[in-house]
Amino acid sequence: MSFTKLGLNPNILKAIEEQGYTKPTLIQEQAIPKVLEKKDLLAAAQTGTGKTAAFTLPLLEFMSSKPHKKEQKAYIKALILVPTRELALQVFENIQAYSKYLHLKTAVIFGGVGINPQKASLRKGVDIVIATPGRLIDHMSQNTIDLSRVDFLVLDEADRMLDMGFIHDIKKVVAKVPNHRQTLLFSATFSDEIKKLSNSFLTNPQTVEVARSNTLSEQVSQAVHYVTKEKKKSLLAFLIHTQEWNQVLVFTRTKHGANRLSEFLNKNNISSLAIHGNKSQGARTTALKDFKSKKIRVLVATDIAARGIDIELLPHVINYELPNVPEDYVHRIGRTGRAGNVGEALSLVCDEEAQFLEDIEKLTKTTIPVRDVEGFTISSLKKPKKTSNTKNRSSKRNSSKTNERRTKPTTNKKAKHSEKKDFKKEVEEFIDNRKRQTSKRNSNRKITGNYRKGQGSKSK
**Residue 452: what pLDDT?**
46
**Residue 22: what pLDDT?**
81
Torsion over CA: 170, 171, 176, 182 (sign): positive
Residue 280 sits in the same domain as residue 201: no
Residue 204 sits in the same domain as residue 231: no
Residue 12 sits in the same domain as residue 155: yes
Q: Between β-strands 220-226 and 78-81, what pairing exists: parallel, antiparallel or unpaired?
A: unpaired
Please indicate, yes or no, if residue 434 is contained in any of the structural domains: no
Report how many domains make up the chain: 2
Residue 16 sits in the same domain as residue 159: yes
Please identify, among 313, 340, 364, the residue that sits at the C-terminal boundary of a domain.
364
Q: Give the span between the Cα atoms of 343 and 334, in whole angstroms.
A: 9
Residue 72 sits in the same domain as residue 185: yes
Please identify, among 188, 209, 230, the residue that sits at the C-terminal boundary of a domain.
209
Please identify, among 364, 385, 407, the residue that sits at the C-terminal boundary of a domain.
364
Please indicate, yes or no, if residue 27 is contained in any of the structural domains: yes
Look at residue 350 and give its three-state secondary structure. Answer: coil
Contact criterion met (CB below 8 Å) for 66 and 89: no
Contact criterion met (CB below 8 Å) for 187 and 334: no
Q: How many CB atoms lie within 10 A of CB 298?
A: 26
Residue 57 sits in the same domain as residue 78: yes
Residue 89 sits in the same domain as residue 126: yes
Please indicate, yes or no, if residue 421 is contained in any of the structural domains: no
Torsion over CA: 139, 141, 143, 145 (sign): positive
**Which residues are registered as beta bridge partners of 224?**
347, 370
Task: State which residues form the domain around 307.
Answer: 220-364
Please indicate, yes or no, if residue 438 is contained in any of the structural domains: no
Look at residue 144 and give its three-state secondary structure. Answer: coil
**Residue 197: what pLDDT?**
74
Please indicate, yes or no, if residue 61 is contained in any of the structural domains: yes
Residue 185 sits in the same domain as residue 231: no
* Tens of pLDDT, residue by residue, the chain (460 residues): 788 888 899 999 999 999 888 889 889 999 999 999 999 999 987 666 788 999 999 999 999 887 666 667 889 999 999 998 888 998 999 999 999 999 999 999 999 889 999 999 999 999 999 999 999 999 999 999 999 999 999 999 888 888 778 889 999 999 999 999 999 998 776 777 777 778 888 999 999 987 655 666 677 899 999 999 999 999 999 999 999 999 999 999 999 999 999 999 999 999 999 998 788 878 888 888 899 899 999 999 988 755 667 777 789 999 999 998 888 888 888 888 776 678 899 999 999 999 999 999 998 889 999 999 999 999 999 877 654 444 444 444 444 444 434 444 444 555 545 544 555 566 666 666 666 666 655 555 554 455 444 555 444 3
Return the CATH number at 178. Answer: 3.40.50.300
Q: Give the span between the Cα atoms of 419 and 78, in whole angstroms.
A: 79
Residue 164 sits in the same domain as residue 15: yes
Please indicate, yes or no, if residue 60 is contained in any of the structural domains: yes
Within 184-325, residue ranges assigned H as helices are 192-198, 232-243, 255-267, 281-292
**Residue 429: what pLDDT?**
67
Q: Give the span between the Cα atoms of 427 and 3, in whole angstroms.
A: 93
Residue 130 sits in the same domain as residue 224: no
Please indicate, yes or no, if residue 392 is contained in any of the structural domains: no
Please indicate, yes or no, if residue 236 is contained in any of the structural domains: yes
Residue 199 sits in the same domain as residue 237: no
- Residue 423 belongs to what H/E stretch? helix 413-453
Residue 196 sits in the same domain as residue 253: no
